[in-house]
Structure formats: C-alpha cells, structure tokens
Structure 1
C-alpha cells in the first residue's frame, strides 16, 4: 500500500519558474492515503492549494510554526513571532529592508516567523538572529527567522499524533534545508534533484529529475512498493 505523504511546495511541486506544475494536481488528489502539505509559506498558501487541488486540508506552514488538520478542525501555532519581529526591526535599523515592498504579502499573514528576501544580505540577519537566540532557515526562496526547535519534523510528529499515525508510515518529498528535519524522522524521504546539499544529505533518496518531475518520480517509486 502507499504511505501517507508529506510534500513541500516551492521547488517540489513547482517548475523552474516557481509556478505550480499542473501535472501534480491529479496525483495529489488521487493519492489514497493522507496528504500533508508542509511548506515555509504562510498558512493561506497551503490551505488554498489543498482547496484547489481538491484534497482535505492538512497543512504544515511557516516551517512547522502552524499546523491545521481538517480531521480535528484544530489550528495550532508554535514559535515566537515577537522575537522574530525584534530581529527584523534591528535588521532594518542597520539600513536593510525585507525586500518585499510596502504591500508585503510574503509576511502579511505570518503568525510565528518572518521572512526576508534572498536578495538582501543574509549574514547580518543571521548574526542578529543568533544574538537573539533565533534561527534562520535558507529555503532557497527566502530567509526565515524562526524559533529554535520549530521545524517540519516536529510539526509532522504533531500531525501523526493527531491523525493516529506513525512517523515511520510517512513519506516526505522536498528540496531544502527546511525539509531536512522531516526527512530524518519519516519512514522514507526523497529530495528532488534541485534540492540543496543539506536536504540531499538528509534524504533517503535523491531523484534524477528536478522540481515537479522529481516529485512525480518519487511518487512512482513509492507506488512501486505496493504489494
């Protein structure tokens, strides 16, 4: 049988331009076991994705900071957004901005962390975060200032507790260092070929194909395990 599936969005369900590859929609909708969308994006993005794909809303957002499951209709948050805000405020005081303009949809709905564009300097952000006891994830799409111990692996443990499933049952597909903690705790993990080195080292398998092609390759491999 197929395993429950956790899947990242950016770099995993997308093409090289950042757009969702339409070929992933049907396989996600037809996957026979629970699908959890686990992303660094703010909560509205994975919720909307589940809605438009046509699957139950089971999401991990903000790199593990937010978890919602339609199964029990409970939304939980972990992480210290106020601490992240203080780091970002100090970053601005040094003369940097977040890189998203006045109408900042990247951060508008974030509850547990804040993100900074990758075209802004990363080292001063990391220095300020470390001094504040915070962590910075480089997802390949943004720098995320978040609380230590908040990650997709811990969030998936919460998901499993609430679903009555085991982490060993789950498979995970992703592409970034923010997926590594989940790769290390699930039963089987796949990094797509475009993944960063941290993700590749943590994964059980690395696909030959990149982006959504790699995701579809991982699904094919997981389906081949069926008796």
Structure 2
C-alpha cells in the first residue's frame, strides 16, 4: 500500500509561473491513501483545491493554524495577539502591501500574511515584541503564533485519520515545511526549495515545482508496489 501524503501547495503543486498544475490532479485522486494539503494559505484555498482535485477535504492551512480532517475542524494559535501585532505594525507606518481588496487575508483566521514588499525589519520587530513567529515562505511574510506549525497540525490530522505521522511522506519547498519534515517518515524538498527546507528534508529532488513532486510521488508509488 502507498503511504499517506502531506503536500505543500505553492512551489510544490504549482508551476514556476505560480499556477496550479492540473496534471497533478489525476495522481492525487488515484492515490490509495489519504492526501493532506498543508499550506500557508488561508483555509478556503486548500479546501477548494481538494474539491477541484476530487479528493476528500483534508487540509492544514495557515501554517498550522487551521486543520480539517474527516469533518473534524481544529484551530491553533492566538489570533487576537496577531491582530494586536498588525495594529502595532500599521500604527508605526507599516503596510501589509496588498493593493485593493486584500483577498490574501480576507478569510484568514489565525495569522496574517504580508507582501514581501512590506517592511521586513519592522515586521520582525513587531513579531518579537508580541512573541510571534515570523515566517518567510518565499511568497509572503507571515506572523503567527509560535506554537502553531504545519508539523504539529499534521500530527493531529494523522491521528484522526488513523495513522501515525511517521507513516506519511511529505513534499515541500519552504521553511514552513521543515516542521512537517520533522514529524513524517520520509520527506522531499523540490529543487526550488529554500535552504531551510532542503536541510530538513530526507531527499532533495533534481526537479522543481510540480514536476519534482510528481516525480517523487511516482517513485514512492513504484517502490510501494514492489515491496
């Protein structure tokens, strides 16, 4: 039997142009074990992706702040502290950097994401002041509770699904995936991954983005069938 999966989205199931690759859908839909999408995006995004891919809604969102598995919804972190930090950031002249309607944060419940054009030094200063974690995913800066992480959320999701986290295979590309890599049994960083993810992964792939992910998953499937 193939192992359950924990897959990041941006940089992992996307193309270099940051678009979702539909060619991944058939492999995910045919995977014979649970697939968990673990992302820094707000909760509705991975839920919608599960629907479009034709797989059950099993997600870790907002860098571990929200987790859903088989109808069980759980939250982690301190969103009120995050809101207070954002108020402090903006009162000191900071701007989250999203023009027009802020769809990046509109449905975000446990953390905040700022554009990478935002004042990084001020964000880090505010994060330290409010005892929050600062995460650079390569796509945005995130302020979140220090005790919330993708890895911790996956442990809870795995239990609901009847697995141990060490039974999972994970693929990711960013420092926010390192906590996932620490709890799973086998982990892959795609070629475009940052150095933190590469150091934490068991394997670094030669190919990047969705091509690297699909290559790794096919290899995992082939190996499982031959065991």
TM class, shorter-chain normalised? over 0.9
Structure 2 portions without partners, runs of 5+: none
**Equivalent position of 2:38 in the other structure:** 38
- Counterparts of residues 2-151 of structure 1 (less than 5 Å): 2-69=2-69, 71=70, 73-151=71-149
Separation in 1 of the partners of 2:130 and 2:146? Answer: 11
The 2-side partners of 1:22 and 1:191 are apart by 20
TM-score, normalised to structure 2's length? 0.97
Q: Which runs of 4+ in 1 moved over 2 A?
A: none
Distance in 1 between residues matched to 2:135 and 2:216, nearest whole Å: 24
Provide the C-alpha distance between the structure 2 equivalents of 1:161 and 1:21, rounded to a whole number of angstroms.
30
**Over residues 17-71 of structure 1, what are the superposed CA-to-partner deviations in whole Å (9 max), with x where a residue is unaligned?**
11001211111111110000000000100000000000011010000000111x2
**Match in the other structure for 1:168:** 166
- C-alpha separation between the residues in 2 aligned to 1:122 and 1:48? 30
- Separation (CA, whole Å) in 1 of partners of 2:28 and 2:7: 10
CA distance in 2, matches of 1:119, 1:17: 19
* 1:156 corresponding residue in structure 2: 154
- Render the CA deviation track for 1:109-158: whole Å, top value 9, x for unaligned: 11110110011121110111111111111111111100012101100100
**TM-score, normalised on structure 1?**
0.97
Distance 2:68 2:212 in 1: 26
Q: How many residues were matched structurally? A: 225
Which whole-Å CA distance do the structure 2 matches of 1:102 and 1:132 have between them? 28
1:198 matched to 2:206? The reply is no
What is the deviation of 1:221? 2.1
Structure 1 equivalent of residue 181 of structure 2: 183
Unaligned runs of 5+ in 1: none
State the distance in 2 between where 1:82 and 1:109 align.
Answer: 15
Q: Secondary structure at the match of 1:180?
A: helix
Q: Return the alpha-carbon distance in structure 1 between the equivalents of residues 59 and 139 of structure 2.
A: 19
CA distance in 2, matches of 1:54, 1:220: 19
Structure 1, 49-58 or 99-108: larger mean CA deviation: 99-108
What is the DSSP-based 3-state SS (H/G/I as helix, E as strand, rest coil) of the residue aligned with 1:225? helix
